[in-house]
Amino acid sequence: MMTMGRGEIRISLLVLLAAAAEGYDYGDALSKTLLFFKAQRSGRLGSDNSINWRWDSALSDGKAEGAELVGGYYDAGDNVKFGLPMAFAMTMLSWAAADHFSTHSDLFDAIKWGTDYLINAHTQPNTLFVQVGDGDSDHLCWMRPEDMTTSRTAYKIDEAHPGSDVAGETSAALAAASIAFKQRDSSYSHTLLQHAQQLFTFATAHKGSYQDSIPGASKYYKSYQNEDEVVWAAAWLYKATNERQYLDYVVQNAASVTDDCQMKEVSWETKCGAVQVLVSKIYMEEKQELQGLQKYKERADFFTCACMQKNQNAADNVELTPGGLIYVRPWNNLEYASANAAVMAIYSKYLDGRGVRCSNGESLTDDQILEAARSQADYILGKNRMGMSYVVGVGPKFPQRVHHRAASIDVNSEAYRQLSMDGPERLCAGGYAKFYPTSDPNPYVITGALVGGPAKDDTYLDARDSYEQSEPTLSGTSTASLLFAVLSSSHNHGAAAAVQLMHSIVSKWSVGNTQYCHHKVVITAANSNTTITDLKFRIDHLSPGTTLWGLSKLPPQDNEAGIFYALPPWANSIHSTSTHTVLYVQRCQQAKISLLSYRQL
């Protein structure tokens, strides 16, 4: 609403962030999900390990094969390292960083822990280790990774045993990470890019599905197609290098990921919906008049309309539960819901006001698409039939009996002590007898884990043996992290007001046919008895070269895009009796100011 007064046009803008009955704190949810990756770490955890119930483990991985495969992440509630979902998880986390949705230090730590391992797994230009451990033998034991006695065989793909799907996904992960680290660590970024380019060449020269080379992989992470990962890698490499060869590959192989691809889900197995959105940004920003790129844009629209049930043919739409959750399949459904929502949210940003027109004749605005994505996040965080958060450690009610070996075995218990005294083999079977079947809550809270989620009727069984619902995964939690990162960077998400911004236009003038405005933003605490400190903002639509008074840019290593700001040191807090003023001059379109993080005293 606009009112005239004292020569100013006042526009009240509430920046909404803190959790309340009407909304959720996506920044806090992001921070929590990143802790899950610390709990999943394999290898030497170091003195800064903050998960006190996790210790060093699997320190001989790769030794028998002559490779350094110590590190990386355990996949889920088990102790196997599966390369395809791990690489996908790193791509999702890197997307959040590469597109500047978050500068959280734990995000970069989580990415680097994974990409360090992927680099080590890429031992030769055409050789990539893609699995450590055997799913069958691992699943015979219920034991902590620190106590493992199961097989740690390492499996690889090479020229004679190709796997263009996992090679492509690993290339995509490293290319996306190279963008994320470009400003923070240029040397590491260069290393990441070199490996990404080599793996892309390997994937294009030696096509094939990795489970044909590693038969045991198909039981756990079967890949039904392999071209979508290679096109996905090409898109990320073009974004990282601006080299035309990668864009040409995207255009030349458009049919394989537009006409012949699953367009109702994004997951570790199918990248089709995600690659449409990523390539659409290239098409819209660079105005590349290439028919192949236009097709990607059309299919990105189709994917978005499918997620919102706006395609004319009902069979072209995703299914929703009665409570409104995107439903793809019974096992680990929240990965698909959070992944689809994250990609929708990103697309709403890329569209930049263009919106989408669906085949049923409806037009969707960017805000409507973002709200649809937000509804999935809100469901995950508690707005659901069960009234619980499906992210462990978030909110007052969350899963207590997560299907997770390390989190469910109390190392201080008498049962564990007795089993340990009887030898490692007793820990294997004894874990299933002593710890797996109990109805007691897990002794350790695996904060940030996104569990598999509710059934088709929105019900959830909080039991360890209900693994379709209660097991968390790297891939699922990574897509939730990406979703929360995008939403926490948004300037209008539906949570309680933490601060209030009053945007004023102090004066206007014209230079030729261009009108300029002197903008003023007054920041106040929204609650009368609250002091807010360490505020960090994202500012969009600030014209290049515009000087901003009253906020300080974050250091370049945390601010490659130059859009992140903080209160200056001399005014680092706001309380009920104080205000803080920000001034800038540009054309009369106001900048979008988003509150990213803060501390409440």
> Which of the residues are catalytic?
403
Q: Could you tell me which residues are beta bridge partners of residue 583?
A: 520, 549
Contacts of 226 (CB under 8 A, 6+ apart): 163, 164, 165, 168, 207, 208, 209, 210
The alpha carbon dihedral of 406, 411, 417, 423 has a sign of positive
Q: What angle is formed at CA 547 by the lines to CA 544 and CA 549, rounded to 5 degrees?
A: 145
* H or E segment and range at residue 195: helix 186-205
CA distance 562 to 175: 21
Burial bucket for residue 204 (CB in 10 Å: 0-12, 13-18, 19+): middle
Q: Could you tell me which residues are beta bridge partners of residue 594?
A: 538
Please provide the DSSP assignment of 480-504 as one string. Answer: HHHHHHHHHT-SS-SSEEEEEEEEE
Name the token pair of 27. 């920044």
Pick from 91, 30, 58, 33: which is nearest to 406 by CA? 58
Contact present, 173 and 94 (Cβ < 8 Å) = yes
Phi/psi for 501 (5° steps) reads -115, 125
Contacts of 47 (CB under 8 A, 6+ apart): none
Contact present, 148 and 59 (Cβ < 8 Å) = no
Pick from 375, 367, 361, 363: which is nearest to 348 by CA? 367
Pick from 524, 477, 466, 472: which is nearest to 498 by CA? 524
CA distance readout (Å), 288 to 298, 366, 534:
14, 22, 42
| Other Cβ atoms closer than 10 A to 385 | 15
CA distance 265 to 300: 12
* Residue matched to tokens 């609403």: 1
Contact present, 111 and 180 (Cβ < 8 Å) = yes
Q: Could you tell me which residues are beta bridge partners of residue 559?
A: none
